[in-house]
Chain A
Amino acid sequence: MSEEIEPINNPGATNEDKDGDDFRELLEALYQKYGYDFRQYSEAHIKRRIRNRMTLSGVKDISEMQSKVLNDEEFLSKLLHDLSITVTEMFRDPGFYKSLRENVIPILKTYPFIKIWHAGCSTGEEAYSMSILMQEEGLYERTTLYATDFNQQVVNQAKEGIFSNVQIKEYTANYQLSGGKASFSDYYRADEHNAIMNQSLKKNIVWANHNLVTDSVFAEVNMILCRNVLIYFDKNLQNKVHNLFYSSLINGGILCLGSKESLRFTDLNNKYLEIDSKNKIYKKKY
């Protein structure tokens, strides 16, 4: 057997993972004391967010982190914000919105009232995008958009409908590629730093607090959008949330996932028809 190629200067490296266990303990403490349950989130992701908070707040190790979380309310609220916020865009994946216009709007048009649930709406970009789309398709007046998140802070922020100017150029490009029928600038007024979304887009959005991990069915709806939320969960939790979605959709209801998400790891795979496999649009079977 030939000599193995080994790294130089490698003192004390080991395959043990005490670190991983410490993180698990912190998440367990967060759940036991406050009921916030991140135990079934993607571990690599949650570790990254916790480390970022440690760096920002000058926390030196996990045990200091644990004591701050348990004793410092202000710190706790910062950490919760870090762990729950998801980054999104207006008209992210323009091809998806285009497909909605072509393949889903004709179905929705057959209903006298349309209920749409944005599950895990974060700062609201997607709900506003959908408001614009429904207005342009002439369906807004009979539509209610439920936009929910478990983090009240981001729900409040979403409700304001104020977005930084920095991204408007990208959003405008997305909007145009998505088959937008007007000019994106028709939908907001700009001040020095921000784009403030039109009041008319908010009219039929109901903002609410709902936790996908711990709460049950929110409402019976015609369509659910939950895009790039479930990627942060482990397989078991993904499956649980998919069952919640299945119970919330009417027969023939539409489920929209993120471009890299699928029903593959759920036990509901054969209970939906694929409307658009590339853009991850599914229809609940009758």
Chain B
Amino acid sequence: MRYEAIVIGVSSGGMNALSSLFSALPGNFSIPIIILQHIGARSNNQWIKLLNKKTAVIIKEAEEKEKIENGNAYVSPPNYHLLIERDKTFSFTIDERVNYARPSIDVLFESAAEAYKTKLIGIILTGSNNDGARGMKRIKECGGLIIAQDPETAESSYMPASGIAAVKMDYILPLQGISELLIKIDKQNDSDEAF
């Protein structure tokens, strides 16, 4: 398979953006997706239930040491950093906040970049903070594909704009363009397997 995982970083305006992105994905979407949405320390996961209602993809909270499997989407738990190990399992830490955030997008993205190298897709969406910019740069350095939401189309433009300022994106697209691109990549992954 050309691409083995997708990481998405998103902050304010995330619920609308993720709803729109995920409602366009088919139930048989295969590449695992790991979502890092900035959430408060006492978030009760109601938002995951809401998001699940909008999409055919199954979205669940990542568990400590859980193996990342095709066909699943995962979200980070509140008040822990989420990291990915080389053996494609999740690790949690409660290290200091990074960019005022725990979970932090940079922490997830940097570890994912090293775990998946060229087989990773990094996506940065709406948000009013610069978390994720360093992580996108690291994904690029390790050979992954990086995509930013077009800041003009984002509820909060600051986060995708910071990503774009930090590193040259492969694609800058509105949400619809991102979901179409992901579907195309997922289909190519399948045809790779057939050959």
Which residues of A are at the interface with B, using a C-beta cutoff of 8 A?
A: 1-2, 4-10, 13-15, 17, 19-20, 42-45, 47-49, 86-88, 228, 231-232, 235, 238, 260-262, 265
Contact = CB atoms under 8 A, between A and B. Distances in A.
A108 B105 CA distance: 42
B171 to A, nearest CB: 9
Contacts of A49: 95
B158 interface: no
Contact of A43 (B63, B85, B92, B117): B85
A99 B96 CA distance: 26
5 contacts: A1-B188, A44-B85, A87-B95, A238-B65, A262-B64
A24 to B, nearest CB: 11
B62 to A, nearest CB: 9
B168 A228 contact: no
A52 to B, nearest CB: 9
A148 B54 CA distance: 48
Contacts of A48: 83, 93, 95, 107, 110-111
Residue picked from B77, B92, B119, most chain A C-beta under 10 Å: B92
Question: What 10 A-B pairs have minimum CB-CB distances, sorted nearest first?
Answer: A13-B143, A44-B83, A44-B111, A42-B91, A7-B145, A15-B117, A231-B92, A7-B170, A260-B64, A44-B85
Contacts of B91: 42, 44-45, 231
Nearest to B140: A7
A87 B96 CA distance: 7
A20 B118 CA distance: 15
